[in-house]
Amino acid sequence: MTETTNARTDLVESITREVLAALAAGGVNAKPGDPCLTCTGACASRCATKVRDVVAGGASRVGYHGQADDVPGDLARFIDHTLLRPDASAAEIDKLCAEAKEHRFAAVCINPTWVRRAADNLRGSDVAVASVIGFPFGAATSEVKALEARRAIRDGAREIDMVINIGALKSGMLDTVRADIAGVSDACHESGAANKVIIETGLLTDAEKVVACRLAQQAKADFVKTSTGYAKGGATVFDVALMRETVGPKMGVKAAGGIRTAEDVQDMIAAGATRIGASAGVKIVMGEKVAHGQY
């Protein structure tokens, strides 16, 4: 058992070194003597330009065709308009849906109890209904998560944002985590819905982030997502770039947690995000800033 654990640890560390090296190298634009070649990759969290250079090494890494500096002006279609407060009222859900239709957001993201109401509000529009599963701790059993996903889909959800079993991941129980994700993926795909897997980056090491993304891929998830917004930290440019580098060009990457301005959205898209989760969606698309600390 010890030999197996050591081999797994060595593999995780090897994969992480490869991904971080690719980020640090700045893609195909790095030149001999470039200080980025010796960087650990931490600078990406402070310099969107450096991340844009990474993405420019292969434009297919983002859900957008063109140079990474030319981020799309139509930010709304990247945004899941989100309201996950436990005290959210029916009137607030109605308002959320109305705003999503007005600004043509990609989806609304709400708790399961409001899915049917949101689906009724959004019928006939091109705004999807997304709901959270195992939220916010990911500590429900796999059977309950799959059942919860099927019920939300039956009520009208077309996208599911599930939280992984974080404790199992940190315990090295990789088969458990993979099966947990696969159960929800199966529930989604049998009805044509998408599974977005929240790995909760603020609670993971870089090595664990890489492993979580790989497990989500193996379990046939459609997206990996940074955060619930309820744990410490939120989406960072570095984490989005790390996740994109890990999953490659085809899988979706959703950045969520602490995204408050249009500039935040542009930086996340440049790093490789194809979807943004934000409760400040209206203010973002209208170019307004949310007060610091508000999520």
Mind telling me the catalytic residues?
Answer: 161, 225, 254
The amino acid at residue 183 is G
Percentages of the chain per state (helix, strand, coil), in multiples of 5:
50, 15, 35
The CA R_g of the chain, rounded to the nearest whole Å, is: 19
Sign of the four-CA dihedral 56, 239, 248, 107: negative
Instruction: Determine the Cα–Cα distance for residues 294 and 234; give it in Å rounded to an integer.
Output: 12
How far is the C-alpha of 21 from the C-alpha of 26, rounded, in Å? 9
Which H/E stretch holds residue 275? strand 275-278
For the beta carbon of residue 232, count every other beta carbon within 10 angstroms: 9
**CA-to-CA dists, residue 88 to 64, 85, 93, 211, angstroms:** 34, 5, 7, 34
